[in-house]
């Protein structure tokens, strides 16, 4: 079994393959990226990072019992065949695509679909699929704080509170250069260094 470093520098066994009770605790807008890294010719689209906690799979970090997390990126398409629509239907079984002109992805926060964990070719865990919560098997109450981040209406404090690898992923977006988020990040850095920001941006 492969080991993965935890936030404190400790090492923990990876979450094993299987189907788990889970709860969606983070919805992070990533900006525009290639639809599929393997096929750049397919172009770009907005992407979202969905993070689930696993309240039945706890680990102890710095003396505190915390649930495991697992994240999955998806293209932000609202079509019949889109993987994101499958996730929505698993989290909100009554969802009717035909009746929706648009969808607020943040309504997924706190929802409790079951997720199946599999393995990448290198042995790391990944979310393979989302399915509706089984009757008679309710997910335990949410443990972690809900976090949402909108790339197009960014909150800098929320951005700075994200894991570093998530911040880096957002900064790799095709539309990060010149974005409101880039301006906020750079102005905060200039203010910290005692320099004048480029424009009046509240932070």
pLDDT tens digits along 44-61: 999 999 999 999 999 998
pLDDT score recorded for residue 99: 85
Average pLDDT for 155-166: 96
> Quick check: is 56 in a domain?
yes
Whole-Å CA distances, 186 to 30, 158, 202 = 18, 15, 13
List, for residues 15-48, the tens digit of each pLDDT value: 999 999 999 999 999 999 999 877 777 899 999 9
- Position 6 in a domain: no
Q: For 2, what's the count of Cα atoms within 13 Å in the CB-facing half-sphere?
A: 11
What residue numbers bound the domain in which 54 lies?
13-192
Q: What is the count of structural domains for the chain? A: 1
The Cα–Cα gap between 67 and 4 comes to 15
The pTM assigned to this predicted structure is 0.86
- Which pLDDT value is given to residue 154? 97
CB 2 within 8 A of CB 124: yes
Q: How far apart are CA 32 and CA 155, in angstroms?
A: 18
Pinpoint the alpha helices (H) of the chain.
Answer: 83-91, 156-160, 164-171, 180-192
Residue 8, in any domain of the structure: no
């Amino acid at each position: 079994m492969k080991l993965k470093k935890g936030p404190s520098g400790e090492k923990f066994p990876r979450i094993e393959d299987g189907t788990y009770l889970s709860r969606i605790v983070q919805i992070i807008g990533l900006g525009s990226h290639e639809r599929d890294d393997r096929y750049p010719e397919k172009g770009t689209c907005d992407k979202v990072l969905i993070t689930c906690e696993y309240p039945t799979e706890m680990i102890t970090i710095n003396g505190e019992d915390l649930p495991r997390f697992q994240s999955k990126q998806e293209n932000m398409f609202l079509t019949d065949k889109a993987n994101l629509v499958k996730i929505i239907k698993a989290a909100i079984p009554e969802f009717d695509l035909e009746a929706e002109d648009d969808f607020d992805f943040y309504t997924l926060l706190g929802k409790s679909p079951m997720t199946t964990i599999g393995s990448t070719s290198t042995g790391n865990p990944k979310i393979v699929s989302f399915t509706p919560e089984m009757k008679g098997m309710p997910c335990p109450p949410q443990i972690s704080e809900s976090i949402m981040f909108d790339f197009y209406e960014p909150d800098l404090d929320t951005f700075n509170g994200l894991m570093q690898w998530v911040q880096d992923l957002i900064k790799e977006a095709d539309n990060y250069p010149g974005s409101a988020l880039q301006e906020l990040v750079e102005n905060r850095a200039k203010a910290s260094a005692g320099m004048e920001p480029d424009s009046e941006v509240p932070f």
